[in-house]
Amino acid sequence: MSTKVTPGLGEVPVMVRWPEGVLRRMGKDNQDREIMKHMVDGHFQKALTCALPDTFSLFCQDLPTRPLPGAGRVLVTGASGYIGGRLVPELLARGYPVRAMVRAFSPAYSKHWPNAEIAVADALETESLDRALEGIDTAYYLIHSLLLGPSSFLHADIQAAVNFGKAAEKQGLRRIIYLGGLGDTRSQSPHLKSRMQVAQELSRGRTPVTILRAAIIIGSGSASYEIIRHLVTRLPVLPIPHWAKNRCQPIAIRDVVKYLVGAMETPEATGGAFDIGGPEILTYEGLLRIFALVIRKRVWLFDAPFSHIGFYAYLASLLTPVPASITRALMEGLRDEVVASGDEIRRLIPFKPLTYQEAVIRALSREEQDKVYTRWSDAYPPAYDLALKLHEVQGKPGYTATRSVLSDKPARSLFGSVCCVGGRAGWFRANWMWWLRGAFDRLFFGVGTSRGRRCHSSLEVNDVVDFFRVEDIEPDRRLLLRAEMKLPGKAWLDFAIREEGEKERLSVTAHFFTSSWFGRLYWYAFLPFHHFIFQGLVDQIEKQS
Ligand X SMILES: NC(=O)c1ccc[n+]([C@@H]2O[C@H](COP(=O)([O-])OP(=O)(O)OC[C@H]3O[C@@H](n4cnc5c(N)ncnc54)[C@H](OP(=O)(O)O)[C@@H]3O)[C@@H](O)[C@H]2O)c1
- Interface residues with ligand X (CB under 6 A) are 77-78, 80-84, 103-104, 122-124, 142-146, 160, 179-181, 195, 214, 217, 222-224, 376, 379-380
Comparison of 338 and 348: residue with beta carbon closer to ligand X: 338
Comparison of 260 and 294: residue with beta carbon closer to ligand X: 260
Q: Quick one: how far is CA 462 from the chain centroid?
A: 13
At its nearest, how many Å lie between ligand X and the CB of residue 217? 4
At its nearest, how many Å lie between ligand X and the CB of residue 224? 5
- If DSSP states are collapsed to H, E and C, what string results for 513-535? ECCCHHHHHHHHHHHHHHHHHHH
Number of helices (H), then strands (E), in the chain: 20, 21
Comparison of 380 and 435: residue with beta carbon closer to ligand X: 380
For 68-143, list the strands marked E by DSSP: 74-76, 98-102, 117-120, 138-141
At its nearest, how many Å lie between ligand X and the CB of residue 145? 4
Comparison of 433 and 455: residue with beta carbon closer to ligand X: 455
What distance in Å separates the CA atoms of residue 162 and residue 156, rounded to the nearest whole number? Answer: 10
Comparison of 143 and 269: residue with beta carbon closer to ligand X: 143
What distance in Å separates the CA atoms of residue 248 and residue 244, rounded to the nearest whole number? Answer: 10
Nearest residue (beta carbon) to ligand X: 81
Provide, for the chain, the percentages of residues in helix, strand and coil under a 3-state DSSP scheme, each rounded to the nearest 5.
Answer: 40, 20, 40
Comparison of 39 and 330: residue with beta carbon closer to ligand X: 330
Spatial neighbors of 40 by CB under 8 A, at least 6 apart, are 16, 19, 20, 23
Phi, psi of 236 (to 5 degrees): -85, -20
At its nearest, how many Å lie between ligand X and the CB of residue 366? 16
Comparison of 41 and 184: residue with beta carbon closer to ligand X: 184
Could you give the C-alpha distances from 467 to 239, 427, 437, 446, 533, in angstroms and in order? Answer: 28, 12, 10, 9, 16
At its nearest, how many Å lie between ligand X and the CB of residue 489? 23
Conformation bin of residue 194: beta by default, left when phi > 0, alpha when psi is -120 to 50: alpha
What distance in Å separates the CA atoms of residue 89 and residue 366, rounded to the nearest whole number? Answer: 17
At its nearest, how many Å lie between ligand X and the CB of residue 192? 9
Comparison of 259 and 434: residue with beta carbon closer to ligand X: 259
At its nearest, how many Å lie between ligand X and the CB of residue 100? 10
Strand, helix or coil for residue 394: strand
CA dihedral of residues 175, 179, 180, 183 (deg, nearest 10)? 100
At its nearest, how many Å lie between ligand X and the CB of residue 380? 6
